[in-house]
Copies of this chain bind each other. A is one copy, B any other.
Amino acid sequence: MTVTYTLEVSKAKFWGFPKLLARWKGSIYRLIYREMLVFLIAYYALMLIYRVVLDEDSRKKFEAFALYCREMSSTVMITFVLGFYVTLVMGRWWQQYMNIPWPDRISMEISAYVHGTDERGRMIRRSMARYLNLLSLFTFQNTSTVIKRRFPTMEHLVDAGLMTPEEKIELDRTSTANGEWWLPAHWFTQLAVMARKEGRIHDDFHLKTLIDDLMAYRGMCGMIWSYDWISVPLVYTQVVTIAVYTFFVAALFGSQFLFGIEETSSLSVNYYCPLFTIFQFFFFVGWLKVAESMICPFGEDDDDFDVNWIIDRNIIVAYQIVDTLHKRVPILSRDAFWD
């Protein structure tokens, strides 16, 4: 459920980006309001304890500890590590988008190079298109929580008409311990060779084109697997998480208004509400949440890629191109600028 807003700010004008702050879907508020609540509750609980419960002596100790916490709040370090980390995660996020396999290209090539309008011809073309979609379905079944829920087993794919029972049988016969998601690619290849032998593909050349582009398609599916298999090293994520959360645990104490230390004459804003800390919370936890919501882009976050829509669209469009639109061109005519 991608959040698209670019056209809204297509012209940089007064009130451009700030206008975006009023959004809820895909917004920072939606992402961090729970953390914010917990933080504020903890903050005010601590305030109550400090101001009401503690005796003079414990207060002193509390204040000493709070002061100590204030010292350790260096933001430079966190800013930096977040900068590097988010850049890394966003790089992977975009790479994953770039590796979503779209069947348009190969479908058009199938439509161009695999001839024959008889039933067998149509079946070959449609099967090829289906293998393309199966390849990406097998991929997303294991890497996207959305698709996993929609098609938990291979049976579901057969029921949805995306795999024929014959294909299911063949799949079962070759299943190994190492995964067989690449099988539709092999079927496609062998089917193309068969079509070449039957003369439906006119030239070895076109056969090569089809297989080369299929291999690129398979490679993209492989990349999706890879990004799922090889996460950002856990250590890195932990380092960043510890840095950010430790900062705010320290801030729970450090941002309290300390009677013993601060001038009580001109009561600080801090007395009631740690405005500045709340802002920092927005900033740092928000930035971390940017990473969190993009580390797995095939999930259900507001900003995740809409895999369900993609799958549906691809199935329809692939069939359209290889079958319905096969051999259909608008009637040629002189255009408006003819001589």
Contacts and interface: CB of A to CB of B under 8 A. Distances in A.
A18 B236 contact: no
B316 A176 contact: yes
A190 interface: yes
A193 B112 contact: yes
Contact of A215 (B108, B123, B270): B108
Contacts of A71: 276
Interface string A278-293: 0100110011111011
Nearest to A266: B64
Contacts of A268: 64, 68
Interface in A54-111: 60-61, 63-65, 68, 71-72, 74-77, 79-81, 83-84, 86-88, 90, 97, 102, 104-105, 108-109, 111
A337 B194 CA distance: 23
Contact of A235 (B18, B127, B233, B303): B303
Contacts of A245: 18
A162 B337 CA distance: 9
Contact of A21 (B123, B242, B316): B242
17 contacts: A6-B231, A7-B143, A7-B296, A10-B298, A11-B301, A17-B288, A23-B234, A64-B266, A104-B185, A104-B218, A111-B190, A166-B333, A178-B312, A190-B327, A209-B211, A209-B212, A236-B287
Closest 5 CB pairs of A and B: A161-B336, A10-B299, A10-B296, A12-B293, A14-B34
Given A109-B211, A191-B329, 9 more contacts: A5-B231, A17-B241, A28-B235, A108-B189, A123-B332, A126-B338, A190-B326, A204-B206, A239-B290
